[in-house]
Amino acid sequence: MTHDASGDLPDYRAAVIDLLGAVGYGEISAFERLAADARMAPTLVDKAALARMAVTEFHHYERVVVRLTELGADPFDAMGPFVPAIDAFHERTAPADWLEGLVKAYVGDSIAIDFFREVAAFVDAPTRALLVDVLSDAGQAQFAIDALRAAMAADPAVSGRLALWGRRLVGEALSQAQRVAADRDTLAALVVGALGPSGARPDAALAEFARMLARITEAHTRRMRALDLAA
Amino acid sequence: MTHDASGDLPDYRAAVIDLLGAVGYGEISAFERLAADARMAPTLVDKAALARMAVTEFHHYERVVVRLTELGADPFDAMGPFVPAIDAFHERTAPADWLEGLVKAYVGDSIAIDFFREVAAFVDAPTRALLVDVLSDAGQAQFAIDALRAAMAADPAVSGRLALWGRRLVGEALSQAQRVAADRDTLAALVVGALGPSGARPDAALAEFARMLARITEAHTRRMRALDLAA
């Protein structure tokens, strides 16, 4: 069931502003971290490829700011509540080298796509259009897959370390997502479609949120296996 | 006097490829450093403003890559020779805090604009169109000026330190520019319009190059004074 963000459901509007705040801060943080990780690139070609992913994230961030403003929200106020969880994620997952950076770029991009795909069903048309546009930029991470395959072909020993790293990334991401969901009932309800006309149904939302994280984790595991990065 | 980069003047073509290689590596390095400096921003609004400058630099970089490819050059080979000087500049001018980062963003942007304006007169039409487009993005640094004025109004004591920092920035930039010019005769000749049909006139170029640096330094000094950042 979808709603009109500008309409008469204050819970829905607040939850969409929360969602966009989280996505917006996620995007500008991804910009920053990818740009920083690009400095570890072994060649200018690699550097430019990761920098391009960073720039794409920044443009998504700008679209989110526009949408928040359309909704009458202060974009920076909307992002504020998500700074601790997203910063904590990045602080705990700072890549030690270029290959770890590539795995993080790929895993982060894929998980974001899975999440946006899940959520797009439950939001109003303009917000959905934004998420679908962001999804249409998928495939940016193909260069990371190619570079990782080449690195593992050249030195099969790296795959064990990178597999553990991939597990740690998804573990940290889930842990922060769960922290956010526990703090913000209506947001958690929104992203799993449990925000009814009479407001959130917190119990239903919590269980469904856990199921959503499970689906995202399964998809992550399949992708890691396809890359021969099973831990 | 201008030439056709795709034409029959091998010195001109090599010099334009050099110029674009230097500009391209300058742009992607500026992207990286501005993105890194954005992490020191005191607020999300400030962070986004510096990140936007970084993204603009990346788009300029992409245009340079397209032009180099049109000229039949390998963009990364073209950038290679300029990596040491540009990396050295950034290593010696890593901002210690947000305000130093703002001064660097403003000074770097202004000097690049002055340089492009000087050079645009001496290059072929497509290369000139690229430089003019880059120039049309001028004004990006206005937010840096506003933020610096506000910081100095709040704490006049910072202006002395920032004035010294501005001098150091321009000193390092000139020193690296001179190093590059000394190594690359035809490039130095091109940027001052001393690349004649019979090739470079190295002596004339060297003196004219020094005069160009003097003009850029004067403009820098005027800007610093206007900002009450005279050292």
In this prediction the ipTM stands at 0.82
Indicate the SS3 state at residue B227.
coil
pLDDT higher at B3 or B190: B190
Complete DSSP assignment for A64-102: HHHHHHHTT--HHHHHGGGHHHHHHHHHHT--SSHHHHH
Q: Is A90 on the interface with B (CB under 8 A)?
A: no
Residue B42 clears pLDDT 50, i.e. is over it:
yes
CB A176 within 8 A of CB A226: no
Q: Is A31 on the interface with B (CB under 8 A)?
A: yes
pLDDT of residue A1: 46
Chain segment A164-191, per-residue pLDDT in tens: 999 999 999 999 998 898 888 889 999 8
- Displacement of CA A142 from its chain's centroid (Å): 17
Exposed e or buried b per residue across A13-30, where buried means at least 16 C-beta atoms within 10 angstroms of its C-beta: bbbbbbbbbbbbbbbbbb
Confidence of residue B20 (pLDDT cuts 50, 70, 90): very high
Cα–Cα dist B4/B124, whole Å: 5
Q: Which of the residues B32, B56, B57, B61 would you substitute to probe the A interface, choosing the one with the greatest number of A C-beta atoms within 10 Å?
A: B32
Confidence of residue B1 (pLDDT cuts 50, 70, 90): very low
Burial (CB count within 10 angstroms: exposed 0-12, middle 13-18, buried 19+), residue B150: exposed
pLDDT of residue B97: 97
Give the mean pLDDT of A94-116. Answer: 94
Indicate the SS3 state at residue A1.
coil
State the nearest Cα–Cα gap between B9 and chain A, in angstroms: 29
Q: Chain A residues with CB inside 8 Å of B46's CB? A: none
Q: Is A66 on the interface with B (CB under 8 A)?
A: no
Mean pLDDT of chain A: 89
pLDDT of residue B202: 65
Question: For chain A, what percent of residues have pLDDT higher than 70?
Answer: 93
Establish, for the pair of chains A and B, how many residue pairs have beta carbons separated by less than 8 Å. 62
Q: Which residue in B113, B25, B102 sits closest to B61, CA to CA?
A: B25
- What's the Rg (C-alpha) of chain B? 18
Report CA-CA distances (Å) from B69 to A131, A156, B61, B122.
34, 35, 12, 20
pLDDT of residue A226: 87
Please state which of the ranges A200-204, B94-98, B216-220 shows the lowest mean pLDDT. A200-204
pLDDT of residue A182: 86
